[in-house]
Amino acid sequence: MTLIGSDKFTIVIGLGKTGLSCARYLSNLGEAFGVVDTRAEPPLLAQFRENYPGIPVECGELNADSLMQASRLIVSPGVSRDLAAIRQAEASGVEVLGDIDLFCRAARAPIVAITGSNAKSTVTTLVGEMAKCAGINVGVGGNLGIPVLELLANDEQQGGDEKELYVLELSSFQLETTSELRAAVATVLNVSPDHMDRYPNLMAYHQAKHRVYKGCEKAVFNGDDSLTAPLIPEVTPRAQFALKTPDIGNYGVITEGGEQFLARGLEKLLPVESLKMPGQHNVANALAALALGDAVNIPLQAMLDTLQKFCGLEHRCQWIRELNGVEYFNDSKGTNVGATLAAIEGFGNQLQRKGEGRIVLIAGGDGKGADFSDLKEPLLKWGRTAVLIGTDRESIADVLEPDISVLRVDGFKDAIEQARSAACPGDIVLLSPACASFDMFKGFEDRGDQFMAQVRALVEIEQPERAASEYSQPLDKDASEEKVSQDDQS
């Protein structure tokens, strides 16, 4: 189909959830637009044609001549703006943007913008819950759940109350086409290699993430991760969070009398033990949420009340059950090495404080071109064995063996059985794949749901007597502390 252009004609590229939200938004405004998709049969094509029968659609390889008929292109996150046809249209003067810029041009309330390789969804949801607890009319969405333009629809087009605050989770893909964010506060929570099948190197990925800081009024960054420090003018107010004693105006952890406290400067705010989310990485998430909420004046008491109630999100270090002295956790959202590393270290520190137990890790899937070598040191310190599944299991095994016990399995059920057999009382069985799920599952949710269902179906069994040698690699507190010290110096 040939697209018919005009002086004010928009082409939406990509007919997924975001593309459909763009179409709905433009249609409600009465603007002329068309849609293209690189797939021959996009999953939402039938729904789109039913809802918008008069709107032109092209499917298949992008046609530069068609794109150059438009005054602007709205590129969906799943489509790289580096495609030749898009670059050619842009070079000819066609504006290229994404749904986030469309949203920012219309939104009137302050925006909290959150990105990072990991923990985006947890921190975004947590800040949203803090705002709700304070009685603030907040819209939460973006890469998490609701497309941003749907938040505007709920405000205006459906007669809803106008939001007082927006809290947005933003992916690097979304930020590639975002130039007008100008958030009230923005953060990069952490940076570790991800999507290396889309970006040529870590620097390109880093640059995409840091677009979140462009024009922000305040910046929050991770004092434990130098790659998150904002490269913006020093006059922009900034605060940091870190798992250490904080300076004045920053957020961190104070240890007093053997107990850890969330703190702002020298002010103790909440005992870490009061958090419902397990693991040290979730302590960092709580600190990030406090810093972000403070930047947009969410009352402190509402934030602290929320932290004592919030149990975390599904598929993100989610406790399932204890069986025969072993705890099972679902971290299916651990779709990259950085996420799995955070989970291992978070639970490893927890086990170290207990003085017993190790981690049996279930990992593997589609690695997206990742380097898995960073998993070796924490598994040497805290792991008992790694049960590997999926397309890239051999890539993981290559960096772990022979120093770490590895079990290769074909099916998911077998992986759970092997993990159960390998675990000893006091251990944690952790599904944190460090990989995408699409080689074996519909998505990370499906992977996590299957894991939870199969773990809950396990029944108690009488434990046979085991030789002491089978409880190999117990946590040696002194040795572990010495190793941490050496790591800190490296």
Which are the catalytic amino acids?
A: 120, 143, 195
Answer yes or no: are the C-beta atoms of 88 and 67 closer than 8 Å.
Answer: yes
Give the residue among 393, 404, 399, 406 at the shortest CA–CA distance from 434: 393
- What percent of the residues of the chain are helix, what percent strand, and what percent coil, each to the nearest 5? 40, 20, 40
Q: Decide: residue 256, CB within 10 A, 0-12 exposed, 13-18 middle, 19+ buried.
A: exposed
Paired tokens of 323: 């069986």
For residue 376, give every residue at least 6 positions away whose Cβ sits within 8 Å of its Cβ, in sequence order, or none. Answer: 399, 400, 403, 404
Paired tokens of 154: 């709920």
Total residue length of the chain: 490
Answer yes or no: are the C-beta atoms of 63 and 82 closer than 8 Å.
Answer: no
User: From CA 239, how far away is CA 250, in angstroms rounded?
Assistant: 5
The CA-atom distances, in angstroms, between 432 and each of 370, 459, 478 are: 15, 23, 27
Amino acid at 91: A
Q: CA geometry: angle at 326 spanning 324 and 407, to 5°?
A: 110
Taking residue 422's Cβ as centre, other Cβ atoms within 10 Å add up to: 19
Paired tokens of 55: 């709107």
Q: What's the gap between Cα 87 and its chain centre?
A: 29
Q: Decide: residue 275, CB within 10 A, 0-12 exposed, 13-18 middle, 19+ buried.
A: buried
Q: What's the gap between Cα 305 and its chain centre?
A: 24
Q: Decide: residue 309, CB within 10 A, 0-12 exposed, 13-18 middle, 19+ buried.
A: exposed
The arrangement of strands across the sheet holding 138-142 comes to: 138-142, 165-169, 111-115, 185-188, 219-222, 238-241, 251-256, 259-264, 267-271
